[in-house]
């Protein structure tokens, strides 16, 4: 079972100036990505509140905590800095893939996102942009690795399923075959085909 927490980081939504739009999208997409329990969206202002909610998510043993918002360049965007205070290990590949997917989807400004991804104790923490579109693009990337990442954080081994599927040689198979001199020469191979 995977437990997730969705967090909307927005000073204006937290103050009631406007309704949170990206948080409900995040909750729905986390469920579709394989999370059995998704709490939130919590709507909080940027800054120290982000650090506290992320620390609380670790203490509460969430497997995943995903934020939306606070990753831009404005003076009030502090979510990456607050996240960095909490994570033990950074996972730069996730953040890079998120930015790349946004840019590939035709949103050049996606590369301006400063969002981070990392692990705090046994919780995967990921920062997504604050727009509904940014959440959709980000979750398209994250859903491909979320269950595997949680399994790895829990101490699971790498999946061998792909290597054991029909049409895929097990890792090291070709090297072993050739190392023993068993590779057919072209004459034998031609005879087998005929």
Same domain for 186 and 130: no
**Domain CATH for 135:** 3.40.980.10
Using CA atoms, how far apart are residues 167 and 26, in angstroms rounded to an integer? 36
Q: Is the pLDDT reported for residue 190 higher than 70?
A: no
Q: 139 with 30: CB under 8 angstroms?
A: yes
Confidence of residue 160 (pLDDT cuts 50, 70, 90): low
Instruction: State whether 20 and 67 are in the same domain.
Output: yes
Judge if 94 and 28 occupy the same domain. yes
Nearest residue to 170 via CA among 158, 161, 178, 179: 161
Determine the pLDDT at residue 159. Answer: 62
111 and 180 inside one domain: no
Report the pLDDT value the prediction gives residue 138, as an integer from 0 to 100: 96
Domain that holds residue 131: 3-153
Higher-confidence residue of 54 and 172: namely 54
Does residue 178 share a domain with residue 143?
A: no
157 falls in which pLDDT band (50, 70, 90)? confident
Same domain for 136 and 181: no
- CA separation for the pair 78, 114 (Å, rounded): 9
Structurally, how many domains does the chain consist of?
Answer: 2
- Of the chain, the percentage scoring pLDDT greater than 70 comes to 81
Q: What is the pLDDT of residue 188?
A: 35
Q: pTM of the prediction?
A: 0.81
- What DSSP string runs through the chain? --EEEEEEE-HHHHTTSS---HHHHHHHHHHHTT-SEEEEEEEE-SSHHHHHHHHHHHHTT-SEEEEES--SSSTT--HHHHHHHH-SEE-HHHHHHHHHHHHHTT-GGGGG----EEEETTEEEEEE-SSHHHHHHHHHHHTTTHHHHHHHHTTPPPP-HHHHSTT-PPTTHHHHHHHTT-SPPHHHHHHHH-
Specify whether 27 is located in the same domain as 101: yes
Residues 10, 50 within the same domain: yes
pLDDT bracket for residue 86 (50, 70, 90): very high
Do 55 and 88 sit in the same domain of this protein? yes
pLDDT computed for residue 78 by the predictor: 98
**Contact 153/63 with Cβ under 8 angstroms?**
yes
C-alpha 185 chain-centroid distance: 46
Mean pLDDT of the chain: 86
Do 111 and 148 belong to one domain? yes
Q: pLDDT tens, 56-79?
A: 999 999 999 999 999 999 999 999
Q: Are 125 and 50 in contact (CB under 8 A)?
A: no
Q: Do residues 51 and 84 share a domain?
A: yes
What pLDDT score was predicted for residue 10? 97
DSSP characters for 163-176? HHSTT-PPTTHHHH
In which residue are the tokens 């202002």 written? 45
143 and 108 assigned to the same domain? yes
């Amino acid at each position: 079972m995977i437990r997730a927490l969705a967090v909307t980081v927005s000073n204006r939504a937290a103050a009631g100036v406007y309704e949170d739009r990206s948080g409900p999208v995040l909750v729905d997409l986390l469920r579709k990505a394989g999370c059995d329990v998704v709490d939130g969206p919590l709507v909080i202002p940027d800054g120290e509140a982000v650090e506290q909610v992320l620390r609380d998510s670790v203490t509460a043993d969430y497997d995943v905590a995903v934020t939306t918002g606070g990753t831009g360049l404005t003076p009030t965007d502090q979510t990456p800095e607050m996240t960095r205070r909490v994570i033990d290990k950074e996972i730069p590949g996730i953040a890079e893939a998120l930015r790349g997917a946004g840019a590939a989807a035709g949103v050049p400004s996606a590369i301006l996102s400063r969002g981070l991804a990392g692990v705090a104790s046994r919780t995967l923490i990921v920062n997504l942009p604050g727009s509904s579109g940014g959440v959709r693009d980000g979750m398209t990337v994250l859903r491909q690795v979320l269950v595997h990442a949680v399994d790895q954080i829990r101490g699971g081994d790498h999946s061998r399923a792909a290597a054991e599927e029909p049409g895929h040689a097990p890792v090291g198979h070709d090297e072993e075959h050739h190392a023993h001199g068993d590779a057919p020469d072209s004459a034998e191979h031609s005879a087998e085909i005929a």
